[in-house]
Structures are given as structure tokens and as C-alpha cells.
């Protein structure tokens, strides 16, 4: 077998699309697992519907619930994988810096389950670190399955981490920036393009599974566009960076427009001054709860 030379941007972009879809599904599962363990711990019912633990009828015994959850997670960390003990982000960074972006497959399974148990039983934790490590683990595993180089695997790990965050919090731009800042340590087209693809598809999957209720008005406008599904729009946007594969120079502001539906008006002004008019139109749309079709 010939050694791999160079960075295969097209191939990694395709793998990044798969990672983005997987991250969107994993974020959906984590979301529901948190609801399930909350109901099991505080209400003793099997339900994925979110309820506040404050409404429980356990009385003073409620203080035992987080302790039990912590014990369960502790056993998972001791006998499952010690990599799930931490916050999540430092472990993902450690994998990039010391393990050539290799993460064990069991981390991708144990981390979201342990996080859901910890959060669902009332632990003072959040989903950001766990979903970043989980998404990164899936990206790393896919990179190991398809025999990628260390640099390619690092991009896939970052794609999984950014896509996981984007799908969990509906923040694709923040997912891209976080992955670049904490995991990639570079700002190049070979990493930016797969990241945009992964985070856009992950956010699209999240919105298909969880609905558009938690999205901005502009995202809901895309979903209600006459005669078209929002899935088609977001899928088209996810592959929009691919023409840049033929470009030797990377033009940042054009690529930023790839994820245009997720940008708010304040961000648009940072891209180029001539978008001020478009910014004004979108502000008018959001203020009046109308669509651009009614303006034009």
C-alpha cells in the first residue's frame, strides 16, 4: 500500500459531511438522554420529555440523587475509560497534541451516556464539553477507519467537535471558531472548508430532529420558503464551499457567506460594508415578522 502524500481536501470534505450528520444525530440522542435520566432520577418515570427537577416530590431525599449519579459516573470512568472523567475539551486537545488525534471508540459511547447521567441527576455540569469530546471521538474513529494521516485525522476530529457543538446549541459559526481556536491551531482552507460542511449539516440534522422552535426567525423563514424544504437549502449551503477546492487562494468573506442563514445582522456588517443595505432589509423583516418575498 502506497503511503498517503499531501492533504486530500475533497476526500476529507466528504468524510466531514458524514461526521456532521453523525454529530447531529448524537446531539439529538444526548438531548433526549438528559431528559430521560432527569425523569428517571427525580420522577421515576420513563419519559424523554424535559421537566424541571425542582418540581419533584422527593423531599429531603433529593440530595441523594446527585450523589448516586456521581457514583455511577465514577464507576464508568474507572472500569470503562478514564478519558471520560474530565470536562471533555482538554481531553480532545490532549488527543490532538499527544495521540495524533486518535481517540478510542468506546469514548464516543461512554462520554455522552456518562454526561447525560451526570446532568440528568442534577450534577452542576453542562453539555458543551461532553458533546465536543463525543463529536471529536466520532470524527477520530472515522479517520482511523479510512486510514487518514495525522493532519487529516486532526481536521476530522475538529469537524466532529465543532459539529457536535453546532448541533447541540444551534451555533454553527461558534462551532467553527471553537474548533479552529482550540483544536486545529490553524486557519487554512483545508480545515475551514470541512468544518463549514460538518457544522452546517449537523445544524440541519438537529433542526430536522428537534424542529425549528429554538431557531432564529430567519432560519424559520428558510424552512417556510414556498415549495422548498429547509433540508434542501441547508444541504445546498453545506456543499457551497466545494468550488473553493479549485481555488488556490482562500477568500474568507465569500466562504463566510456559505453559512449565511445562520449569521445575524450584526455579524454581516463585519463581512463587508456593502452588506449594510441587506442588513437593513433583514432587520426590517425580523422586526415586522415578514419575509423578503413580501419586500421584493
* CATH classification of the domain holding 195: 1.10.3080.10
The mean pLDDT of 176-201, rounded to a whole number, is: 90
Longest dimension (CA), the chain: 66
More confident residue, 124 or 225: 124
The mean pLDDT of 4-33, rounded to a whole number, is: 90
The mean pLDDT of 231-252, rounded to a whole number, is: 47
Range of the domain at 86: 9-243
**Res 131 pLDDT > 70:** yes
Task: Assess if residue 118 is contained within a domain.
Answer: yes
- Check whether residue 153 and residue 79 sit in a common domain: yes
Q: What are phi and psi of 232, to 5 degrees?
A: -65, -45
- Check whether residue 88 and residue 230 sit in a common domain: yes
This prediction's pTM: 0.72
179-196 burial, b at 16+ Cβ within 10 Å, e below that, comes to bbebbbeeeebbbbbbbb
| Each residue's pLDDT tens digit, 49-81 | 888 888 888 888 899 999 999 999 999 999 999
Dihedral (CA of 183, 185, 187, 191) sign: negative
Going by C-beta distance under 8 Å and a sequence separation of 6 or more, which residues neighbour residue 17? 197, 198, 201, 238, 239
- Check whether residue 26 and residue 89 sit in a common domain: yes
Instruction: Write down the residue that cell numbers 441587506 correspond to.
Output: 278
What percentage of the chain has pLDDT greater than the value 90?
45
- Check whether residue 181 and residue 287 sit in a common domain: no
Task: Assess if residue 249 is contained within a domain.
Answer: no
The mean pLDDT of 127-132, rounded to a whole number, is: 90
Residue 263, all three cell numbers: 449569521
Q: How far from 78 is each of 75, 103, 108, 141, 170, CA to CA, in Å?
A: 5, 17, 16, 22, 33
The mean pLDDT of 213-228, rounded to a whole number, is: 48
**Res 292 pLDDT > 80:** no
Task: Assess if residue 259 is contained within a domain.
Answer: no
- Check whether residue 137 and residue 51 sit in a common domain: yes
The structural domain count of the chain equals 2
Look at 150-154, 201-205, 229-233, 242-246 and tell me which has the smallest mean pLDDT.
242-246
pLDDT given at position 3: 56
- Check whether residue 238 and residue 269 sit in a common domain: no
| Each residue's pLDDT tens digit, 96-119 | 999 899 999 999 999 999 999 999
**Res 121 pLDDT > 80:** yes
More confident residue, 39 or 278: 39
Separation of alpha carbons 260 and 100, rounded Å: 33
- Check whether residue 235 and residue 187 sit in a common domain: yes
Distance of CA 142 to the CA centre of its chain: 16
User: Which stretches of the chain are DSSP H helices?
Assistant: 9-42, 64-79, 89-98, 105-120, 128-145, 150-169, 172-179, 189-210, 217-223, 230-238, 252-256, 265-271, 276-288, 292-295
Average pLDDT, the chain: 77
- Check whether residue 269 and residue 231 sit in a common domain: no
Amino acid at each position: 500500500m502506497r503511503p498517503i502524500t499531501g492533504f486530500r481536501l475533497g476526500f476529507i470534505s466528504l468524510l466531514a459531511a458524514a461526521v456532521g450528520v453523525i454529530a447531529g444525530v448524537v446531539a439529538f440522542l444526548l438531548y433526549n438522554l438528559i431528559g430521560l435520566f432527569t425523569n428517571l432520577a427525580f420522577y421515576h418515570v420513563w419519559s424523554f420529555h424535559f421537566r424541571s427537577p425542582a418540581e419533584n416530590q422527593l423531599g429531603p431525599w433529593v440530595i441523594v440523587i446527585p450523589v448516586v449519579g456521581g457514583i455511577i459516573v465514577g464507576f464508568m470512568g474507572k472500569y470503562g475509560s478514564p478519558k471520560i472523567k474530565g470536562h471533555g475539551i482538554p481531553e480532545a486537545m490532549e488527543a490532538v497534541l499527544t495521540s495524533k488525534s486518535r481517540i478510542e471508540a468506546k469514548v464516543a459511547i461512554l462520554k455522552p451516556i456518562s454526561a447525560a447521567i451526570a446532568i440528568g441527576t442534577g450534577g452542576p455540569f453542562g453539555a458543551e464539553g461532553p458533546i465536543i469530546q463525543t463529536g471529536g471521538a466520532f470524527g477520530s474513529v472515522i479517520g482511523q477507519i479510512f486510514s487518514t494521516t495525522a493532519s487529516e485525522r486532526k481536521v476530522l476530529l475538529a469537524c466532529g467537535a465543532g459539529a457536535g457543538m453546532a448541533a447541540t446549541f444551534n451555533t454553527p459559526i461558534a462551532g467553527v471558531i471553537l474548533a479552529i481556536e482550540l483544536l486545529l491551531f490553524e486557519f487554512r482552507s483545508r480545515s475551514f472548508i470541512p468544518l463549514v460542511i460538518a457544522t452546517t449539516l449537523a445544524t440541519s440534522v438537529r433542526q430536522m430532529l428537534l424542529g425549528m422552535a429554538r431557531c432564529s426567525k430567519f432560519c424559520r423563514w428558510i424552512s417556510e420558503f414556498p415549495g422548498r424544504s429547509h433540508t434542501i437549502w441547508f444541504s445546498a449551503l453545506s456543499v457551497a464551499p466545494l468550488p473553493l477546492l479549485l481555488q488556490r487562494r482562500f477568500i474568507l468573506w465569500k466562504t463566510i457567506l456559505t453559512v449565511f442563514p445562520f449569521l445575524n445582522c450584526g455579524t454581516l456588517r463585519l463581512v463587508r460594508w456593502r452588506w449594510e443595505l441587506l442588513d437593513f432589509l433583514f432587520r426590517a423583516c425580523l422586526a415586522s415578522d415578514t419575509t423578503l418575498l413580501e419586500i421584493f
